[in-house]
Structures are given as C-alpha cells and as structure tokens.
Amino acid sequence: MASISREPNGRRTIQFVGGDGKRRSIRLGKVSQRLAETVQVKVEHLAAAQATGGALNGETARWIAEIDDALHARLAAVGLVHKRQRAADGLNLADFIHQYIAARPGMKPNTLKNYRQTERSLVDYFGPDRLLTEITAGDCDDWKAHQEAKGHAPATIGRNVRRARQYFRAAVRKKLIADNPMQDVKAPSQVNTSRMFYVSRELTEQVIAACPDAEWRLIIALARYGGLRTPSETFALTWSDVDWERNRIRVPSPKTACHPGGESRMIPLFPELRPHLETVFDEAEPGTVHIIAKHQIASANLRTTFRKICNRAGVQLWERCFQNMRASRETELSQDYPMHVVCSWIGNSTPVALKHYLTVIDADYEKAVHNPVQQPQETGRNGRQAETRNPGFSGVCDTLQYPAREVIPPTGVEPVLSD
C-alpha cells in the first residue's frame, strides 16, 4: 500500500514499499490532494506489478505514457518504470518490451510468465538502456550463445529466441528499427524426447488407488483417460458440462479460448471416467457448480500433492506428471480412431500431436513381433511366384491375359524359315 504525507509547506510525498522490501518516497511538490491520490493509486498498481511480475492494466499503462517527463523521472528514480528516452535517441530495449507487454493486458498467467522470462533474459544481457537501433544480428547470436553457456535447456532457448524474434518484429512494424536482428537466429527445437513418458493403465490405476479421496481420483482420471489439460481444463469443468444422457462432456478450454471456436470441445464420457465422475457427483453438496470443488488449488500445490500420492503408491514421479498422462491418452486413442477424431477430443492439431504428444510404446513392438506385416506374393499364370530373368529388373510385370479361344503358336507369330 502507498500513503500520502503532507509537509507544513504544502508539499506532498508518496511513500511505498518496493519489491525488495525497502521503503521509498516520491516527492510530488506542491500539488492538489486529488492529483496526489491519483498518483498514489498508480504507484500501488506499479508496485504490485513489480512485486508479482504481473502485467499492468491498460489504464495504468496509458497513464504512464501520458504523464510529463518530470513525474516519469521521479517514478524511474525509485525503480517503478524504466527511464524514458528522448525521442532523438530512439527507444531503449527495456522500455519497448515493457510497453509491448503492457499493451496486451489479457494474457493468460503462464503466457505472461514466458513473456517476462524472455524480457529478463534480453534486458539482463543487453542492459536496460541499450537502444533498439544498436542491437545487431551478431549481438543476437552472442545472446543465444550466452544462454547455451549458462546451461539453459534447448527448449528454453528456443522459446526465448522465438519470443525475442516476435518483439523485434513488432519494432520493425512500428518503424522503430529497419530490420529484425533476430530474424536469422536459429531457434533450437522445443521438443525434448527425454521428458516424454508413457503412463500405462496399470501405473495409472496404481496411483489412483493411493489417492486420498474421490476428487483426486477424478483429477487423475480426467488427465489420463479424458486427456484434459490439468489444472486449467479440469478446474473449469462444471456439472452443467456433463451430458449424462448423450454420454458426452463439454470441456471448457481457457488456453485456446482466444481462438475462434476454441472456447470448448466435446469429448465422450469414456467408460473409464464414468465411475469416478458418478462418485464425485454423489458426494457433491447441493448447489455445487464446479466438478472439482474441494481441490481448486494452485498448480504448484497440485504437483506437490501428486508427488505425495505417487510416494504412497510406491511409484517414482515422472517429470511432466499431468502432461504425460494427457499425451499417453492421445497415443492410446490414436491406435483405434482416426487422427482428426483424436485431435478433436484432445484439443490439438495433428502436427502438434505428432511432434509433442504421440510416442512409441512397448505394445507397438509386441504387435509388430506377433503380427508381422504380410506382403502379397506376385504369381504368374501357372500359380507360381513370378520371377524375372533380368537380375537388374526389380519391378513386377502385369500378367498378360489372352482370349480363351486364341492359341498362340509355340514358335511365335512369325513363320518358321528354313535354312
């Protein structure tokens, strides 16, 4: 919280606690109480965003852009905003990225987290006052190499490079720079096969048996047998989304809600889900809206509890606990249904499924050993396999068909010549 103090000479000062826990002051001079209260509210928003890493609301972002240089400099002096550059100098990196993110207040929390991660990586390496026009393609190559030297995972570097390319592309479109220096920097693949793990049905049932209550059993069943994103889609489910008569479930999808038609998808009420869903329904209090009501907890706590359940079941926790269960379900469904059907149920596309979800499992090897692919044999007119006398010919000739009443002389169609 920020407070306003008034000195005997009429000058007003805003006091607040920064993200580092230190108390700071912004001297406003002789201003009206109304203006001081306006600044107080904005300072509270700025301090909260700084402490949590969250995005500014649109009103606060516009206010920062419109205030005069003197007040902006006072806010920059206490670390609430980046130092404003003169128009003749161009825009610095930190200010540009800050404005870019602030102009998109509707980001999902995880998306905002990724944007902030790339912002910190760029600003820490280049410095907050580095002008956009001073960053070259070679500098961007060095930035990527710096991340590799720090031991960042290829997937993390790839995400940073792609997001940085997005930032600089926006700067080009605003005509702040002539070219995108990040354009030709190759982004490492974000596919990490070492993190892919197939969660078998036997392993799933072992974990479900160790759950403390029916809701936790349903959370795991929805991830492994329903293919839901956990926790976002699981926690968004309501009882009105379940169509018991048609055996279908409408799955709200916060992640894809920004795309047309991506607000939700329909999945079957799979037989593996029904008993867990019915049990939670019977135990729910009258008037309960959400299916998962008692365990609407943060994702970090969800993983912590899941680790305890795995320990109780005597199972070693795999790295991407819920994502791997969702991917395992898509791999399983792809064995029996067309990919366009599977992707409709899981809520992704075929390229994404092939790249990030589907994996080869032990059952595939067993199936190949016990059910080898049968190659059809080519046969001649006499029922034997056709052979060619030319060793350089590897093709198969079509068998010639002749009318039943035509007889070809054994010596050919040309007359026999005598010597």
- Cβ neighbors of 134 (< 8 A, separation 6 or more) are none
Q: Is the pTM of this model over 0.95?
A: no
Q: DSSP string covering 371-413, please?
A: SPPPPPPPB-TTSSBP--S-TT--S-PPPP---TT----TT-S
Taking only the tens of pLDDT, the chain with its 419 residues reads: 788 888 877 788 988 887 777 888 898 888 888 888 898 888 888 888 777 766 677 788 778 877 887 888 888 888 888 776 554 456 889 999 988 998 887 787 888 888 999 999 999 999 988 899 899 999 999 999 999 999 998 889 999 999 999 999 999 998 888 899 999 999 887 666 777 899 999 999 999 999 999 999 999 999 999 999 999 999 999 999 999 999 999 999 988 877 788 899 999 999 999 999 999 999 999 999 999 998 887 665 788 999 999 999 999 999 889 999 999 999 999 999 999 999 999 999 998 888 878 888 888 888 888 877 666 555 555 555 544 444 444 444 444 454 554 555 555 555 555 44
CB 134 within 8 A of CB 91: no
Rounded CA gap, 33 and 4, in Å?
9
For 197-367, the fitting CATH number among 3.40.50.300, 3.40.50.150, 1.10.443.10, 3.30.390.10 is 1.10.443.10
Give CA–CA dist 74/128, Å, rounded: 17
**Complete DSSP assignment for 78-107:** TTSSPPPPPGGG--BHHHHHHHHHHT-TT-
The predicted structure's pLDDT at residue 88? 42
Q: Would you call 15 helix, strand, or coil by DSSP? A: strand
**Cα separation, 24 vs 66, whole angstroms:** 23
**Domain 87-190 belongs in CATH node 1.10.150.130:** yes
Residue at 394: amino acid letter = S
Domain positions in the chain: 1-81, 87-190, 197-367
